Structure 1
Amino acid sequence: MPISFPRLAATTCCLALLAVGIGFFTPGGINPPASLTATAEKAEQVRSINRQLSQQPAAQLTTPGALPPSLQGASHGIRLQVDGNGKLLLDPQLLQLFDFYFNAIDEEPVAKILLRIHNDLASQVQGQALAQARDLLKRYLDYRLAMLDLPKGNSAPTAAAFGQHLQAMAQLRGQYFSAEENQAFFSSDVSQDQFMLAQLSLNERALSPAEHRAQLALLEAQLPPEQRAVRQQVSRDGELYEATEAMRQAGASEDEIYQVRANTLDPQAASELQKLDAQRRDWQARLQAYAQARNSLRQSGLSATDQQSAINNLQAASFNELERKRVSALDAEL
């Protein structure tokens, strides 16, 4: 079943390669850089790996094997198209093909991810179109790596600071993509970013709640229909979440919560949310049981080596491979 991975908009400042700047070359390592030199060297490694793959004839690309756990059973659903002259047609979702595989950056090394991308491109197009797709991947990697050099903002930027960030992003995109490519790949992001900039400016004005709501509604009315629908859905989902949480705190049953969701959404969506609730409860219960058993081991008097070995065995018995990565990241907080 195809699934959609949204483009990484500048508003989030959550960039795939930024998040994995140093751990990019190992299956699970996401660690702070030892130095700027080390970061630059590993960025060059990314480029080198991609150059080598780009120079290989499609028939000589090795098979990367099964998809990592998080992507198994999923598909980006993107079909590359060419014109009558064999030239690659620009698709607004084309970069999502790359991001689909990069979503598994914490599960396998970059060399395998890039191999998957090159195999995917070669399976869909050939000749001039394949060369174009490979060139686009090269520039996309360069673009993402160049983003590491942008000034780091904070979680609550001012309108002026965010405006400067958007200007820097626009200049960076202009360096790596043509005007036509920028329009195809980033116009939706730009629209969202400009809305966020206007919203930040609005928040900085001394408006009454009613005036703020009215001005925000005017801004939302200027959004493209698709983005406006997404914002409306997010708002509806947020209100539904708050309502169901309040019901839980008041002692409502799962059946009562299901009915509210079914009336707001539909029965199928309500059932899926009910399943997610059950999965979350199971996850929390397993985490709690693990934490209690781990604490017992820490108080058992075992040597540090034996204690860690026992904890590792406990994790292996309690969680699958992907879950163990989450547990390791959460371990200090449990």
Structure 2
Amino acid sequence: MVHRVGIFALGALLAVVAGFWLFADGGQGLPGAGIENVGQQTAGRSVALPEEVAGSSSAEDSVPPLPRDERISDIDVDGSVRVDMNGNLVLDPSLRRFLDFYIGLTGDQVHGEALRQRLAAEMRQRGISAQVQLEVLEILDDYLAYRGASEALAVRRSGNVEDLQAVLDELKDLRRKHLGPDVAEGFFGAEEARLRLMLDRQRILADESLSGHERDQALAQVDQLLPEFSVQTRRRSEAVVSTSLKVSEMREQGASEEEVRAVRLEAYGPEATQRLSRLDEQRAQWQSRVAEYRRQKALIDQAGGLTAEDRQAEVEALRVRMFETEHERRRISALDRAGDDGA
């Protein structure tokens, strides 16, 4: 069980690491607080200001829209631009999320100038000083360069912990090269440290030379270095994986649905158990419909006197009769092409 859970956890870790370079689409995750001003807003470098920063809020109407604006009509901006009590820009993950949010609205690099103008307008509207605006836009340019450079790593896929470690090391170097040490640490430092500890856990789980007691001790030492929220999240994930594996094994051994329900109740509570039961019912209904569809399709396939065009038309008509939505019909068509049983 330890190794099966460890393999699943490594898959989850792969998804987390992939998130370093496969960026969210439009920042449509957790909504944030927009622009936040803390203390004075006077610090910054004394340089000439570009036009989009030097403009006033009255110029906001002329700012070009971004291609994916319609996707955020009913959600708040994720992330924020903050300054400390001395007026210095705070370099933190919230600023990174703010940039990601608006980068996600462009869709590609063609709209770089529109993106700069949009960010400047958003910051002007919230009273961010011109010098801080300039610093944010300079970081934006560096951040876009980093994102472009990091895309080459997205094609590298491996379940090997050492390969993942090498990719993380390359990303760390790439970030500091493009962003500088201060911005890179503020944007990614905590995340990098957490992922390194997660990789350490995977090495321990994969080390077959360790006894059960030695493994538990080593894992406990790693967990002491993790932030509490990471420990709790990992424990919940492992509990879900463990329960799912247990349910699968119980069903293979002929356990009743009441026995499965009792295990889920103990692990998840009544609400989640009820949702899982509904999902089980929906899955069973779908598989039953697929089985009946396959039976009737086999009769069409075996029928004599039909041309290929007539046979295909009969199959299409069968799909329309048995599957109500276009999504279901596309799904059954894909299963037909794959020769799948719909499970």
Indicate the TM-score class for this superposition, using the shorter chain for normalisation: 0.5 to 0.7
The corresponding residue for 2:256 is 252
**Secondary structure of 2:93's aligned partner:** coil
Distance 2:121 2:292 in 1: 46
| Counterpart secondary structure, 1:82 | coil
Matching residue of 1:125: 123
Deviation at 1:333, TM superposition (A): 5.3
Q: Which structure has the bigger radius of gyration?
A: 2
Give per-residue Cα distances to partners, 1:273-293, cap 9 Å, x unaligned. 334444545565666677778
* CA–CA distance in structure 1, aligned partners of residues 307 and 339 of structure 2: 22
| Other structure's SS at 1:239 match | helix
Amino acid corresponding to residue 150 of structure 2 in structure 1: M
Higher mean C-alpha deviation, range 77-86 or range 268-277: 77-86
Tell me if structure 1 keeps the 8 A contact 2:18–2:154. Answer: no
* Partners of 1:256 and 1:204 in 2: CA distance: 34
Shift of 1:95: 3.7
Aligned residues of 1:262 and 1:270 also touching (Cα < 8 A): yes
- Aligned equivalent of 1:92: 93
> Cα deviations across residues 218-262 of structure 1 (Å, max 9, x unaligned)?
222221212111111111111222233334443422x65444333
Q: Say whether the 8 Å CA contact 1:91–1:184 is kept in structure 2.
A: yes
Alignment of 1:231 with 2:229, yes or no, is no
Taking the aligned partners of 1:282 and 1:175, their CA distance within structure 2 comes to 54
Do residues 332 (structure 1) and 338 (structure 2) align? yes
- The residue aligned with 1:169 is 171
Among residues 248, 265, 268, which one is paired with 2:268 in the alignment? Answer: 265
Are 1:185 and 2:187 matched, yes or no?
A: yes
Gaps in structure 2 of 5+ consecutive residues:
1-11, 26-51
User: How many Å apart are 1:174 and its aligned residue?
Assistant: 0.5
Residue-pair matches, total: 285
Letter in 2 for 1:302: A
**Equivalent pair of 1:58/1:122 in contact (CA under 8 Å):** no
The equivalent position to 1:149 in structure 2, one of 145, 149, 152, is 152
* Aligned mates of 1:103, 1:327 — CA distance in 2: 33
Q: CA deviation at 1:116?
A: 11
| Cross-structure match for 1:80 | 80
Return closer, same or farther for 1:79/1:103 CA change in 2, 3 Å cut-off: closer
Cα offsets for 1:92-141 (capped at 9, x unmatched): 2444456678899xxx9648999998898578533646555555454433
Change (3 A) 1:244 1:301: same
Q: Aligned-pair RMSD on alpha carbons? A: 5.4
Kept after mapping to 2: 8 A contact 1:81/1:88? yes
Q: TM-score normalised to the size of structure 2?
A: 0.58
8 A Cα contact 2:80 2:97, kept in partner: no
Q: Is residue 2:302 matched to residue 1:302? A: no
Judged with a 3 Å threshold, the aligned counterparts in structure 2 of structure 1 residues 280 and 267 are, in CA distance, closer, same or farther, namely same
Q: Is the 8 A contact 1:10 1:189 kept in 2?
A: no
1:225 and 1:115 map into 2 onto residues whose CA distance is 41
1:217 correspondence with 2:215: no
User: Would the aligned equivalents of 1:80 and 1:89 in 2 still touch at CA under 8 Å?
Assistant: no
Distance in 1 (CA, whole Å) between partners of 2:87 and 2:192 is 30
Supply the AA of the counterpart residue of 2:193.
Answer: S
- Which string of whole-angstrom CA distances, capped at 9 and with x for unpartnered residues, describes residues 129-157 of structure 1? 65555554544333232123349545232
Match of 2:18 among 4, 14, 18: 14
TM-score if structure 1 supplies the norm length? 0.59
SS of equivalent residue, structure 1 residue 142: helix
User: Distance between the aligned counterparts of 2:265 and 2:151, measured in 1?
Assistant: 44
Find the aligned partners of 1:286 and 1:117 in 2 and give their Cα distance. Answer: 49
Change (3 A) 1:260 1:143: same
**Aligned equivalents of 2:103 and 2:329: distance in 1?**
20
Q: In the TM superposition, what whole-angstrom CA distance separates every residue of 1:3-62 from its partner, at most 9, and x where no partner exists?
A: xxxxx9777442476599xxx9xxxxxxxxxxxxxxxxxxxxxxxxxxxx99x9653333
Which whole-Å CA distance do the structure 1 matches of 2:14 and 2:145 have between them? 16
* CA distance in structure 1 between the aligned counterparts of 2:243 and 2:111, rounded to whole angstroms: 38
